[in-house]
Each structure stands twice: as C-alpha cells, then as structure tokens.
C-alpha cells in the first residue's frame, strides 16, 4: 500500500507542478499511507477484540453448563481453539462422566507465571524500522501480489495509451475509446464471476475496470467531445454507482479505494491544462456523492479520507494556479457542496460504528473539513467587503442547529460529535462579529458569548467551554480598548462606549459569580480566575462610569455626580453581596473610602473646594453611603473597621478644614490669618466633639469609641500641635478688618482653644487606656510637648505684639535686632523661670525646677550674646538690673528641691 501511495503522490505532483510537485506529492502520499496504516491497525485491534469477547462468552457458557458427553466436550474444544481434539484411547472414553473434573476458567492468573502448554510468551515489541517496513512487507508477501501490480501497471498503461493515441492519431478516436471501455467492462465481468472463488483477485480486477471506465468516459467527454455533457455525466454517475454497489455488496474496501482513486486521478492524468473547472468539479461532485453513498452502508474511513484528500488537494492546486474573481459564481457552489458532503460523511461514520464503538469520530473529517473549507472560502470572498463575515456566520448557523439536532436524535452516542460541532458553531459565530462590526459591537457580543459559554461550561462540566468563555471576556475588553478613539455618541449613558463598558463589566461580574456559586465544581485555578474576573468587571464598571461622567457631565456638577456614582455603586455591591451571599463584593463596597480619598486629591489638584462642582451634594451622599456600609459590616474584622472609621474621620477633618478656609478667605478677603485658623480650629473642634460624651453621636462612638479616641484623634492632635508651631512662625496675626489686640485676636483665640481641648483629650484617653498609661510615660511625653508648644505660643504673642505696636517688621533679622523685643523676651523668660522654679520648689519636683533654671541660664546667655550697643545704654542697664533682681528673688524663694526616686528615673 505504501508503494501505491508514494507512486500516486509522485505522479500527481509531477503532473501538476513538475519536480517540486513530485516531491510534495511524495510527502503527501507518505502522509496518506500513514493515516491509512493507523486505520488498518485500529481495524485489526477491533477484530481481535471481537474474537476475544466471543471466546470469553463461550468459556463462560461452558463453565455454567457441565459437559455431559465427551463428544460435546470435543466439539466445544474445537470451537474454542479452532483445532481438532486429539484421538483418545478406549480406556479414556470409558471413564465415568462423574470422574471427569469440571473445567472452570481461572481469572486470577497473573502475568508472572511461566507459560504453560498451549501458551506462548508475549512477543517483543517491534522496532521503528520494523514498523516502517511492515506495510511494504505485507504488500510484497500478501496474497494477489501479481494482481495488484498488474492492475496498477495496466491502469497507468491505459492512461498513457489514451494520451499517446490522442497525440499521434494512430487509430480513430472512437475505436480507441470503445476498446478501452470494452477492456474495462471485461475486467469488471471477470472480477464479478470470480468473486466467490478468489475474492481478492476479483476485487482487484473490478477496481481496475472501474478506473478504466472513469478514464475513458472523461476522455470521451472532456478531450474529444464525443459525448454530450448530459450523457457523459450520466455514464459517470452510473460508473460511480456501480463502484459503490460492488464495494458494498462484496464488502471490499480495496475495491472502493481502487475505484475512487482511479476516478479522482482520471482527469489529472488526461488533463491538458485547458479544461473547464465546472466540468472538473462536477465530475468530482459525482465521485464524492458515490463515496457518500458507500458511507451510508459502510463505515470505511480509508475511502472517506481518500475522497477528502483528492478533492481538496486538487481543488487547492487548481485555485492556486487558475482561480480569478470572475470564477466565484461557478466555484462557490462546488465548495459548499463538498463541505456538506464530507460533513455528512463524518456524521454517517459516527452513526455506522459498531455498538461498542458508537460515537467514534473521524477527526480528520470532523476538524479538517471546516478548517480547509473556511480557508478556501476566505480566498474566494477576498474581494467582497463582508464576504468572510457572512461566511463565518453561515458556518456558525449551520453547525449549531446540526449539533442540536444530532443531540436530540442520539444524545448518548453522538455526544462527542455534538460537542465538536457546537464548538465549531460558537467559534465561527464568534469570528463573524469582528469580521463585520467595529470594536464596540465586537466587544459586546464577545462579552455576552463568553459569559454564556462559561455558564454552560459550568453547568455541563466542560473545561474547554469555561476556558474559552474566560478568554472571550478578556478579548472583549481588548477589542473595546482598541476602538476607544472613535466617536462615542451624543446621548449620555445611552451611547456605545458606556454601554460597551457596562456590558463587559456586568458579564465579568456575572462570570465571577457563576464560578463562585459553583466553586465545588470548578478547578482551583478557575476559582482564582473568578476573583480576577470580578476585579476585571469592577474596573470596567467604575472606569467606564467615571469616563462617561467626565465626557458628558457639565463642569458645574461633575464632582458631585462622580461622588454620587461611587457611593451608589459601592452601596449596590454591598447589597448585592449580601443577597447573593457573595463575600467578595464586600471589598468593592469598602473601597468607597479609598475612592473618596482619591477624589479629594483630585479636587485639591484642580484647585477646588469641597462644595464646588456639585460637592455640596456629592460629599454628604458619599459620607452617608460610607457610614451605611460600615454600619452593615459591624461583624467585619475589628482592626480593619477601626482603621476605616479613623480614616473617614481624617478625611472629614481635611474636607471641613479646606472648605472652612476657602469660605473664610472668600468672605473676609485681605488677611491670610482667617483661612489659616481653620486648619487649627476644625481638628480641635472634632477632638472636642469625640472627647465629650454629651456631644458625640451614639453610633459609631459607642461601638468604636476607643478607636476614635486613640487611632482617630491622635493624628488630629498632632496636626493641631504642628499648626501651632507653623502659625507662630509664619503668620503676623493681622486680623483685618479689626485691630490687633494681644490674646483677643482670631489667632490667639484659636491657640487658647487648642490649649484647653488637648488636655481634655488626654484626660479622656487616660481613663480609657489606664493600663497603657501605667506602663508607658505617655503623660510625661505629652505634657513636655504641650508646655513647649504653649511656651512657643506665648513668645509668639510677644513677637506679634512688638510687630504691631512697636512697628517692627515681621521678619527674622529685624526682630532679632529689635531692642524692644529682646528686652521683652528677657523679662518674660525670667518671670516665667521664676514661676516655674517656685512652683517646682513647692511641689518638690526637681526636674521642673531644673527646666526653670535652664530657662534662666538661657536668659543670661542671651543678654551677653545679643548686641545692644547700637540702642543706647538705657536698654542695657534696664535689662541687666531687671534680670539681676529676678535672680535674687528666685534664689530666695526657690531653693533646689531634694532628689527624689522619681527624679532618678531615666
């Protein structure tokens, strides 16, 4: 068989394309032989399996019914082994039936036992060289070798004889063709008469006769125009039908193969390169219909593959050389016909399998037919704008109903074939969308299709369907991104871009929920893909919504609409997650707070205040939605909830401070001190609100009060302290439009409020966290920082007073060289040191006394360090005399307290 395949491939290739074609044909012939050899091995294994089953059934029946006579045992032995029973002596035949032990098959034998009588050791597996040479060996040593060789030589001889006679005009053409036809009929008749005595010989003769009839009829019609078209095709139909009938009646695959091969090769061998493609494809259509007729009765895969290979290889060769766009009308019907024929043959092959192999597929036809046909169709419809899209849609609409129909008719046996056809229907329908529509419609269709496929794959336990559905989800997003620069439409929300984004988002979320709901039926990696799909869908939902707001909303209300959209989406995720019992949706709900933080940063970057651009409605709605979500998640992890509540408080403080500063600057223009005080006063008031029991709301303070006191208020307290230092250094405190008065101005009043509120917070914090205060020096650290801030504030009051009343510029160098400021600071520091040291002496606190002493030493050093020579001797005398008197008073009223154990602590 390999010799025939190689010769046929070489011959066809050389006729079509010379030496390169012969090499290609040789390779294709070897590939065809490989397919056929594997099919033959499968058939042999099936026959061996049937034989083994018959023997097992026979052995089971023999063990169930004991043999009554020796003659029956002899018959059974002969039937099971295929050999006659050995002769037995008279003594052995006279044994009583009861003395003969009943034979029972032993099913417990292992492969480790030594081979006994009648058993042979398993032959060694053949090498690759032996496997390669085995078909050639069978061809050379099998029966009817001379007949096979003779038929092949005769067939080629007749082919070249017809061609030679046509070129040299040796005999009248009618006589030559009539003689060839009579020779073919004679071979057929001889083979039919010998079919019962020598089946192989007879089939070979009949195959050669059929091939000669094919060749003669085609030559008479195509080369010499001796037969009218209708009569010629009637003869070809008759020959094809005769070949099919003979092959089916005699169950001869070789006859079918020889007849089909001769029929396909006839036009190739007799071709002059100037024929009509309509006649060629009509002729091949008849041949393929004959193969389909045989497939109706017999599941002969080799015949199907030969017809498929010859039809499409020769068709591709003709198209590569001769096809032009004007041939479309006369070529397209044949391509559709060949596609339908071999799809029909693939279905018949699955239906005609034996009961133990029902549903077995011919993968070459099932998968090769649509792939080859679609590739050829792409070449045919290339000049047409939507030709390939309509072709893909037609294939999808053909395969999907066919799969459904087969599943309804044979749900058990045809399941695999139905799945293959269903997959092709989905694939071709999917390809039709991007071939016909733009990226937005493609993404929408792919998103819906991917979600449907994933849902069906989960319900039917089909991994490939689930994987393809997931890939379509991501492909839909990529398709929409590639088409983003296009027009979006005029209508808000009801435009292609937002609807496409929303569709991708919703299908992604639906797919993620499907995987979550059936998480016990999917693989671990698919559960991870569920989380990725959920994130994918949420990104498209929030991103598409914010992009739509940015495009469609007016600037006057854009921020408010965006905040409302974020709050509504997060709240919807929370409600949906509870109803569907889907914990993963709690995270996008809780992500509202980070979204609000990003919105606040965007607002600051655009130089806006919180109530601008619709923020007067957006921020209250978003905070209401946030606290509603936090209220619904009270059973969540406590530390995470504490962090979220505290972060919400920080954001609220920042927004209130920013808005208050903007409003003060708007209503009291001309002085920067008014907007400045908002950044210190608002955090302090929030500290007072949370600290005072009578002012704070029941929820969330009752449940998360400790978190608000510690984690929530500590950054606000630090902010207030840092603001005190910043305001003292940077602001002269001009309270335009009113006059400046020490302590009775907005800046100093804010300082005083902060100085009163912060100790109240520490007192409340100490009562709640008493154990922590007992273990750590929290109070000592706080009061050290607190009094340092108060000292800095009091100095700032003196500096601002000298600036306003002494007309000293509020800059570093003028203030440093000011005699009035330096004298005032020296006296103030000395009085403060006196007060601190006297207080420390009465309380017996050595550490505080040392602080006062250090402050007094600093006063003395400042007197000698500051250059007062340029201001006259009066200031110098007043400063030194005043400080000296204070030192004497301090020395009398404030001796050094004794060392206590507390002072010895580090």
Written as six digits, the tokens of 88 are 């037995």
Of residues 743, 642, 755, 630, the one with CA closest to residue 688: 755
Written as six digits, the tokens of 174 are 């009618």
- Write down the residue that tokens 């011919």 correspond to: 362
Written as six digits, the tokens of 301 are 């895969």
322 or 134, higher pLDDT: 322
The pLDDT tens digits for 385-414 are: 778 788 888 888 898 888 888 888 776 667
Pair 778, 767: CB distance under 8 Å: no
Pair 831, 887: CB distance under 8 Å: no
Number of Cβ within 10 Å of residue 55's Cβ equals: 14
pLDDT average, residue stretch 206-221: 79
Query: What DSSP designation does 659 have?
Result: H
65: left (phi over 0), alpha (psi -120 to 50) or beta: beta
Q: How much of the chain exceeds pLDDT 90, in percent?
A: 21
pLDDT at position 817 is: 78
Q: How much of the chain exceeds pLDDT 70, in percent?
A: 71
Of residues 435, 566, 551, the one with CA closest to residue 484: 551
Cβ-count burial of 356 within 10 angstroms (0-12 exposed, 13-18 middle, 19+ buried)? exposed
Cα separations in angstroms, 133 against 45, 77, 120, 138, 275: 19, 37, 25, 9, 40
- Spatial distance between the Cα atoms of 147 and 140, rounded to a whole number of angstroms: 11
Pair 162, 180: CB distance under 8 Å: yes
Cα separations in angstroms, 382 against 54, 331, 385, 550: 57, 14, 8, 42
pLDDT at position 895 is: 58
Number of Cβ within 10 Å of residue 795's Cβ equals: 17
Q: Is the pLDDT of residue 870 over 60?
A: no
Q: How confident is the model at residue 237 (pLDDT cuts 50, 70, 90)?
A: low
pLDDT at position 521 is: 85
Pair 531, 512: CB distance under 8 Å: yes
Pair 516, 582: CB distance under 8 Å: yes
Q: How confident is the model at residue 652 (pLDDT cuts 50, 70, 90)?
A: very high
Q: Is the pLDDT of residue 865 over 90?
A: no
Q: What angle do CA 845, 849, 852 make, to 5 degrees?
A: 150
pLDDT at position 880 is: 59
Of residues 897, 733, 878, 743, the one with CA closest to residue 820: 878
pTM over 0.85: no
Pair 627, 641: CB distance under 8 Å: no
Cα separations in angstroms, 553 against 498, 545, 548, 615, 618: 13, 11, 8, 14, 14
- Spatial distance between the Cα atoms of 771 and 765, rounded to a whole number of angstroms: 11
The pLDDT tens digits for 753-800 are: 999 999 999 999 998 888 888 888 888 889 889 988 998 999 999 899
pLDDT at position 555 is: 87
Of residues 509, 453, 502, 444, the one with CA closest to residue 475: 444
Q: 173-193 vs 199-218: helix axis angle to the nearest 10?
A: 160
pLDDT average, residue stretch 342-370: 73
- Write down the residue that tokens 């094919």 correspond to: 214
What is the chain's alpha carbon radius of gyration, rounded to the nearest angstrom? Answer: 50
Q: Is the pLDDT of residue 26 over 60?
A: no
The pLDDT tens digits for 686-700 are: 999 998 876 677 888
Pair 732, 800: CB distance under 8 Å: yes
Query: What DSSP designation does 7 have?
Result: H
SS3 at position 671: coil
Q: Which residues contact 369 (CB under 8 A, 6 or more apart)?
A: 308, 339, 342, 343, 346
Helix spans in 769-870 (H): 770-775, 778-805, 812-816, 819-843, 846-865
First-to-last C-alpha distance (Å) of the chain: 103
- SS3 helix, strand, coil % of the chain, rounded to 5? 80, 0, 20
Written as six digits, the tokens of 156 are 């080629």
38 or 91, higher pLDDT: 38
- Spatial distance between the Cα atoms of 596 and 660, rounded to a whole number of angstroms: 19
- Spatial distance between the Cα atoms of 729 and 735, rounded to a whole number of angstroms: 16
């Amino acid at each position: 068989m390999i010799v025939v395949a190689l010769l046929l491939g070489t011959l066809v290739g050389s006729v079509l394309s010379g030496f390169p074609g012969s090499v290609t044909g040789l390779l294709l012939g070897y590939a065809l032989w490989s397919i056929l050899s594997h099919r033959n091995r499968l058939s042999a294994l099936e026959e061996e399996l049937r034989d083994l089953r018959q023997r097992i059934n026979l052995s089971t029946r023999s063990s169930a019914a004991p043999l009554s006579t020796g003659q029956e045992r002899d018959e059974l032995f002969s039937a099971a082994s295929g050999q006659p029973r050995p002769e037995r002596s008279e003594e052995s035949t006279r044994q009583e039936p009861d003395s003969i032990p009943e034979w029972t098959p032993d099913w417990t034998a292992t492969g480790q036992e030594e081979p006994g009588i009648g058993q042979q050791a398993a032959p060694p597996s053949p090498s690759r060289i032996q496997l390669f040479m085995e078909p050639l060996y069978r061809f050379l040593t099998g029966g009817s070798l001379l007949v096979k060789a003779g038929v092949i030589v005769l067939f080629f001889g007749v082919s070249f004889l017809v061609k030679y006679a046509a070129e040299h005009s040796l005999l009248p053409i009618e006589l030559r063709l009539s003689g060839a036809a009579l020779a073919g009929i004679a071979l057929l008749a001889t083979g039919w008469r010998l079919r019962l005595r020598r089946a192989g010989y007879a089939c070979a003769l009949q195959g050669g006769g059929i091939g000669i009839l094919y060749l003669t009829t085609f030559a008479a019609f195509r080369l010499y125009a001796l037969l009218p078209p209708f009569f010629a095709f009637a003869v070809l139909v008759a020959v094809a039908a005769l070949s099919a009938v003979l092959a089916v009646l005699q169950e001869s695959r070789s006859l079918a193969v020889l007849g089909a091969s001769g029929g396909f090769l006839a036009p190739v061998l007799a071709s002059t390169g100037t024929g009509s493609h309509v006649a060629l494809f009509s002729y091949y259509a008849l041949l393929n219909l004959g193969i389909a007729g045989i497939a109706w009765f017999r599941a002969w895969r080799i015949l199907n593959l030969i017809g498929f290979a010859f039809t499409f290889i020769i068709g591709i060769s003709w198209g590569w050389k001769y096809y032009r766009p004007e041939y479309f009308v006369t070529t397209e019907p044949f391509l559709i016909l060949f596609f339908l024929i071999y799809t029909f043959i693939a279905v018949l092959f699955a239906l005609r399998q034996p009961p133990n192999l029902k549903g077995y597929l011919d993968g070459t036809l099932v998968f090769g037919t649509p792939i080859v046909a679609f590739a050829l169709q792409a070449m045919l419809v290339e000049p047409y704008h939507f030709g390939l899209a309509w072709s893909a849609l037609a294939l999808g609409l053909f395969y999907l109903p066919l799969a459904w129909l087969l599943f309804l008719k044979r749900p058990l046996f045809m399941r695999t074939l139905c799945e293959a056809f269903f997959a092709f229907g989905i694939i071709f329908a999917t390809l039709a969308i991007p071939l016909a529509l733009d990226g937005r419609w493609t993404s929408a269709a792919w998103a819906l299709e991917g979600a449907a496929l994933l849902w069906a794959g989960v319900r039917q336990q089909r991994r490939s369907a689930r994987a393809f559905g997931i890939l379509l989800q991501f492909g839909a997003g990529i398709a929409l991104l590639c088409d983003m620069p296009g027009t979006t439409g005029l209508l808000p929300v009801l435009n292609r871009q937002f609807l496409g984004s929303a569709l991708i988002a919703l299908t992604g979320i639906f797919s993620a929920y499907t995987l979550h709901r059936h998480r016990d039926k999917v693989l671990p990696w698919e559960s991870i893909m569920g989380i990725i799909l959920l994130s994918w869908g949420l990104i498209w939902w929030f991103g598409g919504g914010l992009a739509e707001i940015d495009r469609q909303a007016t600037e006057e209300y854009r921020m408010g609409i965006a905040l409302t959209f974020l709050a509504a989406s997060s709240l919807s995720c929370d409600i949906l997650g509870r109803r569907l019992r889907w914990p993963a949706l709690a995270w996008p709900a809780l992500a509202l707070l980070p979204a609000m933080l990003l919105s606040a940063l965007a607002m600051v970057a655009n130089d806006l205040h919180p109530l601008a651009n619709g923020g007067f409605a957006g921020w209250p709605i978003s905070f209401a939605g946030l606290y509603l979500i936090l209220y619904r998640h009270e059973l969540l992890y406590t530390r995470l909830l504490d962090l979220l509540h505290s972060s919400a408080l920080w954001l609220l403080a920042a927004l209130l401070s920013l808005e208050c500063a903007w409003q003060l600057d708007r209503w009291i223009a001309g002085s920067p001190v008014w907007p400045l005080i908002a950044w210190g006063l608002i955090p302090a008031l929030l500290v007072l609100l949370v600290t005072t029991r009578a002012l704070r709301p029941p929820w969330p303070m009752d449940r998360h009060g400790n978190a608000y006191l510690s984690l929530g208020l500590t950054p606000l307290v630090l902010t207030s302290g840092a603001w005190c230092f910043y305001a003292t250094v940077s602001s002269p405190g001009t309270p335009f439009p009113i006059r400046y008065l020490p302590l009775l101005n907005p800046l100093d009043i804010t300082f005083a409020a902060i100085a009163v509120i912060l100790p109240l917070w520490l007192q409340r914090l100490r009562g709640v966290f008493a154990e922590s205060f007992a273990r750590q020096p929290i109070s000592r650290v706080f009061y050290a920082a607190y009094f340092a801030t108060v000292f800095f504030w009091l100095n700032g009051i003196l500096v601002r007073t000298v600036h306003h009343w002494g007309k000293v510029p509020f800059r570093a160098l003028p203030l440093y060289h000011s005699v009035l400021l330096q004298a005032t600071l020296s006296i103030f520091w000395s009085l403060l040191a006196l007060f601190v040291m006297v207080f420390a002496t009465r309380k017996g606190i050595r550490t505080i006394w040392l602080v006062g002493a250090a402050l007094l030493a600093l006063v003395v050093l400042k007197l000698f360090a500051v250059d007062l020579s340029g201001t006259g001797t009066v200031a110098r005398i007043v400063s030194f005399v005043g400080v000296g008197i204070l030192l004497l008073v301090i020395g009398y009223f404030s001796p050094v307290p004794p060392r206590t154990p507390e002072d010895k602590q580090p």
